[in-house]
Structure 1
Amino acid sequence: MTTGPVWHPISARDNPQLQRLRKLAQDATAYRKMGGVWLEGDHLARAALQRGLRPALALITDVAAADESLRALADQASKVLVVSPALFKTVSGLESPAQIGFDLQLPPPLRIEPQADSVVLDRLQDAGNVGTILRSAAALGFRQVLALKGTAALWSPKVLRAGMGAHFGLRLVEGLSVSDLDGLKVPLLATSSHTDALLHEAELPSPCAWVMGHEGQGVDEALMARCALRIGIPQPGGEESLNVASAASICLYESARRRLTRQG
């Protein structure tokens, strides 16, 4: 007969376990030193569990603990801390905090998978853009995301929230230099206003790696020089450029559509 975790009521703001969670929740890069990530809210918690991941610890409010489904969610952790909503708010980095969160062990570092359909993030600064691209990559079959140095921290709370659970279905490698991409053995494709071809006309290789550049500066020159194709996205509405997350979604969709057409 199996038993659930022990539930520990916590009332002290300076409790060491709460201090750890506070750091993970409010410092974008704390996970790199602390080896864990903060998943706030039942959606991220369920997404991790659905991928077979089990948290070391759950934090739940006494109010949420009265909800049977949230209580069952917390019971998936090895240990559960119960706090008041006011104390939970001191941990959360959100203006309107959730009522439950997980401390999940950070996945071990991964190496580049040479032949994988990939997305390369070149110094993207906005956490919302990065998380949105991760969602698109997961949805459209690009299972590897490679982040160059200067890109928003992939496991930061903001990117995790924007990714909506996509992290757990992706192979994520960050902190890379341009030369590290030598380990990638598929063609690099980049969007550019100086195009070799337009997206709907270009011969798109498969597998491939789409390169998405800095929101203001675009793709680094040295990285662009490595790209097999520079591809333009038609914009009949006349706008000068697209948001990088929107551009990524369009490009990944077109690659996925071509792949499915070939398979069919």
Structure 2
Amino acid sequence: MNHEEAERLSARDNPLLQRIRKLGAEPAAYRKLGSIWLEGDHLVDAALRRGWALEVLVMTESAWRERVDWRVWADHAGRCVQLPEALFRSLSTLESPARIGALVAWPASPALLSDQPGVVLDRLQDAGNVGSILRSAAAFGVKQVLALKGTAALWSPKVLRAGMGAHFALQLVEGLLPEDLAPLQLPLLATSSHAGLVLGESQLPQPCNWVLGHEGQGIDAALMARCSHTVSIPQPGGEESLNVAAAAAICLFATRHR
């Protein structure tokens, strides 16, 4: 689109702004509305670098005036709008609101890739943990993350912020049941604080799928039965267990894909 065609919106009850507020307020609203709200230039840039098209690019009036390079992003947007600063702040879920955001189309849940190494999330509740795990998965070469029902919504604003752009490098499939994992051809490895193979001291099957369980309850028994091995992380400091996101980073580093 032409860089000078950015619309100016000023009505708080504009349908576009109501849509964005709903996406920011309800973690799983993207499933119903079919769009994802990306707040901040980092997430918008990460999406563009991975080839994602923007449905709508939203900027404050000052951002539009001050940053000519941001105007180039309008070429990748179906629509571009400017808002007064106070109106943009009304959309924000951040303590320090950004001055730019974008709507992108939700890719829904793509087909499971049976022959790809990945991560299986079993009912993880904490959005920060989930986002951190996605970031580690992308960093260490994993391409697929499979989330079972009960896991925090993968495209929610909090998970997106914690993922820091990792979402756009991953194939994300959510809403699965344990039996939906049957087509996976690579072994499932379950993390355990006290049993099985010891990370760094045992030969692990590679490539593989790491299974990470609920922060308090661990991995569901039916899913654990599908795992070929359990793997523990040595903790010479004597702690009982690690945070699931920290454990995920260690495990994914150990089986990283070069």
Structure 2 length as normaliser, TM-score? 0.96
The amino acid that maps onto 2:52 is: L
Aligned to 1:210: 210
1:75 Cα offset (Å): 4.6
Aligned to 2:60: 61
Structural mapping, 1:44-83, within 5 Å = 44-66=43-65, 67-83=67-83
Aligned to 2:239: 239
Structural mapping, 1:132-211, within 5 Å = 132-211=132-211
Note the residue ranges of structure 1 that are not aligned, 5 or more in a row.
Answer: none
1:71 Cα offset (Å): 2.9
Q: Distance in 1 between matches of 2:158 and 2:70?
A: 22
Note the residue ranges of structure 2 that are not aligned, 5 or more in a row.
Answer: none
1:79 Cα offset (Å): 0.9
SS at match of 2:54: coil
Q: Distance in 2 between matches of 1:43 and 1:152?
A: 22
The amino acid that maps onto 2:56 is: L
The count of corresponding residues between Structure 1 and Structure 2 is: 257
The amino acid that maps onto 1:230 is: T
SS at match of 1:160: helix
72-81 or 225-234: bigger deviation:
72-81
Aligned to 2:27: 28
Q: Distance in 2 between matches of 1:211 and 1:21?
A: 33
1:27 Cα offset (Å): 1.2
Q: Tell me whether 1:130 sits opposite 2:151 in the alignment.
A: no
Structure 1 length as normaliser, TM-score? 0.94
Q: Distance in 2 between matches of 1:5 and 1:79?
A: 12
1:2-52 residue CA offsets vs partner (Å, 9 max, x unmatched): 734721111110011110111112211100000000001001001110111
Runs of 4+ with >2 A deviation: 2-6, 69-76
Q: Is the 8 A contact 1:123 1:213 kept in 2?
A: yes
CA RMSD of aligned residues (A): 1.4
Q: Distance in 1 between matches of 2:157 and 2:74?
A: 19
71-80 or 48-57: bigger deviation:
71-80
1:65-97 residue CA offsets vs partner (Å, 9 max, x unmatched): 122233333453121111111101111111211
Q: Is the 8 A contact 1:41 1:100 kept in 2?
A: yes
Aligned to 2:229: 229
The amino acid that maps onto 1:69 is: D
1:87-128 residue CA offsets vs partner (Å, 9 max, x unmatched): 011111112111000000111431111110010000000111
32-41 or 74-83: bigger deviation:
74-83
The amino acid that maps onto 2:122 is: D
Q: Is the 8 A contact 1:110 1:171 kept in 2?
A: yes
217-226 or 3-12: bigger deviation:
3-12
Q: Is the 8 A contact 1:64 1:71 kept in 2?
A: no
1:135-155 residue CA offsets vs partner (Å, 9 max, x unmatched): 110111111000000000001
Structure-2 change in CA distance of 1:201 and 1:73 (3 Å): same
1:165-216 residue CA offsets vs partner (Å, 9 max, x unmatched): 1111111000000111102111000111341221112221122100011111
Q: Distance in 1 between matches of 2:19 and 2:218?
A: 36
Question: How many percent of aligned residue pairs carry the same amino acid?
Answer: 58
Q: Is the 8 A contact 2:56 2:78 kept in 1?
A: yes
Q: Is the 8 A contact 2:3 2:71 kept in 1?
A: no
Q: Is the 8 A contact 1:202 1:231 kept in 2?
A: no
